[in-house]
Structure 1
């Protein structure tokens, strides 16, 4: 946690945090880390498609060739792979509101993403992440 805080203090977060803060803003019982985990497969799959070289390097650092697959292995090993938005009372009908709040309240983080994320991409990521 300390190292994560140091990284965030000396650099910056990207739009995954905008999305999660919008989720936990509407569903305050949702822990921030759990929300990030729930978003991660859909979110990073989006970037793995458009930033192939960068994500190949991250996969290699994790001992594989597919970053998302390595991320999912890590989540399984940590016992958090099966977290679901619906377990926290989230409704699929709220995803458009969450997408809008993410852009309205922390939209500047979308400018720091490694590739553009459109409003349509934002909603598509949330829909893919919803379980």
Structure 2
């Protein structure tokens, strides 16, 4: 299914970058057991929108949604660390990024957006971007 491919393309890119970064950033993936470290880490979510069809035969599938990454840092140290990671993610996921697997492609439709932070026991800065993938039967 294309949703699984979309997730694997975005998560694969994020996971490869996070593991290679110095220091490496652990990533909490959806529905995978995770013990939060004391330092910074990421949480990744694929937020699907409504799948539609754009042709009269009903063959096309237009999948849209949002890929969200929550940057989680220790509280009490200011916003700088999270904002630096957000800048790195902005370079990793540039506007109009197109990821492919065989004949399948998903495209980023918006620049990385930063949302209002949440701070309780940790400083959490959510960032996201919109995506779209069109498929037709072969």
TM-score by length of 2: 0.35
Q: Which structure has the larger Rg over C-alpha atoms?
A: 2
Structure with the higher helix share, 1 or 2: 1
Structure with the higher strand share, 1 or 2: 2
Name the structure, 1 or 2, with higher relative contact order (CA <8 Å, separation 6+): 1
